[in-house]
Amino acid sequence: MSGKFITFEGPEGSGKSTQIRLLVEQLEKRGLEITCTREPGGTATGEQIRNLLQHDAAGEPLCDRSELLLFTASRAQLMDRVILPTLGSGGWVLCDRFIDSTMAYQGFARGMDLTTLDAINAFAIYDRKPDLTILLDLDVEAGFQRLEKRYADSEDSHDRFEREARAFHHRVRDGYHKLAEREPERFCIVKADRSIEDVAADVWNAVNGALL
């Protein structure tokens, strides 16, 4: 039996990490074996790529094509080493960001050619798309306010994407909506401007309805 593959998408601060954690708890309570991972990252190679991508760690600005291909390299590695083996043995995979982040950020927000990005994504994942993609939809300003609170309590600093202008993030959010319209059977849009518990209840209903 093949397992199930769920991805979480949405703008900065929309609650992806929070909701994945809660969904893992719910699924594990039901006796399912869950592998939880993230992009970029999720493998030793991918985590090094993440560092390059998030903070210009090599000391020079990344050009758009390098950025795209580094994300894609991380994805291909995650696919081969984690996602496909887990699904093949009947496990469930939850992933924090995936192919749709490439379309929203590099495509709709940076303006790279969408047809090219679709082809590169398909290559990286052998066209094995998620069974369900939860899109946490949140107003851009509200997301940034949440992040400010989080940073006030930690030593982390804003990454390259968080430092982009607000207009960039509006294109990300609108781009996600277009992606959901393009594949309504894969996407479930959850309104994220509510309490953590209310959002989690909708996420649970979506997973239950689509996959259990």
Residues of this chain that bind ligand ADP (CB under 6 A): 10, 12-18, 146, 149-150, 194-196, 199
Considering beta carbons, is residue 58 or 196 the nearer one to ligand ADP?
A: 196
Q: Which of 188, 193, 184, 183 is nearest to 203 (CA)?
A: 188
150 binds, among ligand ADP, Mg ion, none (CB under 5 to 8 A by kind): ligand ADP
Judge whether 71 and 121 are in contact, CB under 8 Å.
Answer: no
177 binds, among Mg ion, ligand ADP, none (CB under 5 to 8 A by kind): none
Considering beta carbons, is residue 33 or 47 the nearer one to ligand ADP?
A: 47
Name the minimum Å distance from CB 195 to ligand ADP.
Answer: 6
- Does 40 sit behind a cis peptide bond, omega within 30 degrees of 0 on the bond before it? yes
17 is an interface residue for Mg ion by CB under 5 A:
yes
Which residues are 135's β-sheet partners? 9, 189
Query: Rg of the chain's alpha carbons, rounded to an integer?
Result: 16
Considering beta carbons, is residue 120 or 207 the nearer one to ligand ADP?
A: 207
Q: What angle do CA 191, 195, 197 make, to 5 degrees?
A: 100
The binding site for Mg ion (CB under 5 A) comprises 16-17
